[in-house]
Chain A
């Protein structure tokens, strides 16, 4: 099923902006989760007032930062890496459920222009296009509660907005748990982490990457 020849190759996978974006978003999300769940009453850490103030500030920061990401992803054409596909989906699922324990190679190795396997494509699409925007929109509305009248949104219910926001937070936290684990499943425990820090990742040889995976065919040459 796989055409991996077992040879590894060091390639530059993540651009400087991408890495900066990833880690700044990591930081923002961790702060938002900590302060947000404190406001929700899960624990006491910073104190309610500080938690609210930090959460509001960091939330707005995230909103602005996200605009840069959206700009980047469309100007570079990277958005194509998020187009969902069912091709090899089964293989990937089978790999994580079975092959990984047998020491089989990953069915869809990474390439500069093919960073996401089918499972990642769908997960990151839902994350970047649905979950994070929903979280940002509900967060922004929550933050602007006092202006709802001026915005013509008096019909909105704070409870509904808050509950969607909290549900989103749980979804993001669950994602973080799985994501942090999944990055240990590279050919070494820290291979993926190293890649997101330095930009360079050891990947399987070129022959093992299918043409269809590349975002543009021209770039495969």
Chain B
């Protein structure tokens, strides 16, 4: 009896101890989960914690929108009747002017000016009507009023086509046509009443199609981002944060932040911690420049390596993007007719009107020092046709405190240039006299250069060119980001081409390594010979005692 009484407490203690032991890992993981979070991650979560939009207006209740519209101008006027300053504001933005700085008439950077690329080359100062499909006015006229719906209607619809159809059916005048017109008008009315901040679909209707097709230009912007998964874009993923474009591309007076050509998108590296009204356009705006857990080496990379470099391991991960375009191959005919061929992605890799093109998926970016600005040649600048001419290139330098290593898509072109004037040439592509109709370079170049107000000597050839796109979308989940050895490697470093600085793991002095291993080897051989000597002479150890 006594024995059992004395044993019971011990048993209880043992059971308690075992329970406590079993609880340990749970407690440890609970403690770790609160501590493990990187401060930059907490900041970002804080910044996006709750964005409850609240509206004071229901556009479907506005009388001015409850009518049958017959023209784009009528629709715009309806919007302006309340949003009195919207159109004036918008007229001053680059989205409307297509000029980086409308006051700079001489250089005239911008797609409506002297800028060009190595895709469809130029808008010919907006003479090329096909380019204007993306101009946010009505139809293809730069004189029209602003089309508010293209950015603000939450209904997916081709508004220009709707207006054309309404006009056409009303002109025909018969009952059936009138009925058709009324149906389209009803759809348009619904779209005009369904208003909100721009969604991914709105911005994407142009930006996903840059270069005239899905994913042609950017590599990190295509229709896969309309409804992306978290794996494709950790911020925009519909199964995650579901960010819209304007979540980061914040806006002032219809000026949308994030344009990175003539000047950086952000000139300082402030985060919301330092300035709660900062533009949320950079990663650091929300994540700060110490985004990883404290004490981690990655935090010490942020001064020289952009977040995008490690966190966007590849671009075009769902849809392919165009990597090269050789205009010199255009103009071939099959049975006297223009033709096209498709590649393994179902994309056109040859078109008589465009030439040879190469598409790719899961592309490894190229890396350059980049301070946020892109330099580019214009239609007026001389180029060196001897090698590859750069149409645009990132500005930056390892010595520059504002430059960091940044990923890029480099698009290779082969495009016409003037052999006498040594400038790139701006052919007119669409329309009656355009190359796509005539396949006549001479005429297309003459008309195109005339529209630009620039000379054409009549002698042309093709030159290989490069054009760069900074890669910043399609941020992968952290588990898919690059590992150290993607760059810190002797054999296949992604940064193999960036010279002028020492990088552990990538850079070795072959002389030092040769001398060093040589010394180690010499030491080893030396002691082995000595050991052999001792063994053969048996002079050491036991023998000495025997003496």
Contact = CB atoms under 8 A, between A and B. Distances in A.
A100 B516 contact: no
B523 A52 contact: no
B338 interface: no
A171 B523 CA distance: 10
Contact of B526 (A49, A178, A188): A178
Interface string A78-118: 00000000000000000010011111110000000000000
Interface string A45-57: 0001100110010
A171 B522 CA distance: 12
B505 A101 contact: no
B300 interface: yes
Given A53-B297, A163-B509, A102 B537 contact: yes
A3 interface: no
B496 interface: no
B502 A158 contact: yes
Nearest to A159: B502
Contacts of B516: 166-167, 169-170, 173
Q: Mostly helix, strand, loop or mixed at chain B's interface?
A: helix
Q: In which size bucket is the chain A interface?
A: 35 or more
A166 B504 CA distance: 11
A159 B512 CA distance: 12
A163 B540 contact: no
Given A41-B508, A158-B501, A162-B502, A174 B539 contact: no
A167 B522 CA distance: 15
Interface in B404-446: none
A39 interface: yes
A103 B547 contact: yes
B29 interface: no
Contacts of B54: none
Interface string A180-216: 0110110111000000000000000000000000000
A177 to B, nearest CB: 4
B80 to A, nearest CB: 53
Interface stretch (B43-51, B272-280, B480-488): B480-488
Q: In which size bucket is the chain B interface?
A: 35 or more
Contacts of A99: 539
In this complex, the member of B490, B542, B544 whose beta carbon has the largest number of chain A beta carbons within 10 angstroms is B544
A171 B300 contact: no
Contact of B505 (A40, A145, A158): A40
B108 to A, nearest CB: 41
B540 to A, nearest CB: 5
Given A103-B544, A174-B519, A189-B541, A181 B531 contact: yes
A177 B527 contact: yes
A41 B489 contact: yes
Given A48-B505, A185-B540, A177 B520 contact: yes
B157 to A, nearest CB: 50
A75 interface: no
A76 interface: no
B421 to A, nearest CB: 45
A3 B530 CA distance: 25
B539 A101 contact: yes
A159 B540 contact: no
Given A39-B505, A41-B505, A163 B527 contact: no
B507 interface: yes
A173 B534 CA distance: 23
Interface of B: 297, 300, 303, 483-485, 488-490, 501-502, 504-509, 512-513, 515-517, 519-520, 522-524, 526-527, 530-531, 533-534, 537-545, 547
Given A163-B509, A166-B516, 13 more contacts: A39-B505, A49-B297, A49-B483, A100-B539, A100-B540, A103-B547, A104-B544, A159-B502, A166-B512, A170-B519, A174-B519, A177-B524, A178-B527
30 contacts: A6-B547, A39-B505, A40-B505, A48-B483, A48-B505, A49-B297, A56-B297, A100-B534, A100-B539, A101-B540, A102-B539, A104-B544, A157-B502, A158-B501, A158-B502, A159-B502, A162-B504, A166-B509, A166-B512, A169-B516, A170-B512, A170-B516, A174-B519, A174-B522, A174-B523, A177-B527, A181-B527, A184-B531, A185-B540, A189-B541
Rank and list the top 4 A-B pairs by shortest CB-CB distance, nearest first. Answer: A170-B516, A181-B527, A159-B502, A101-B537
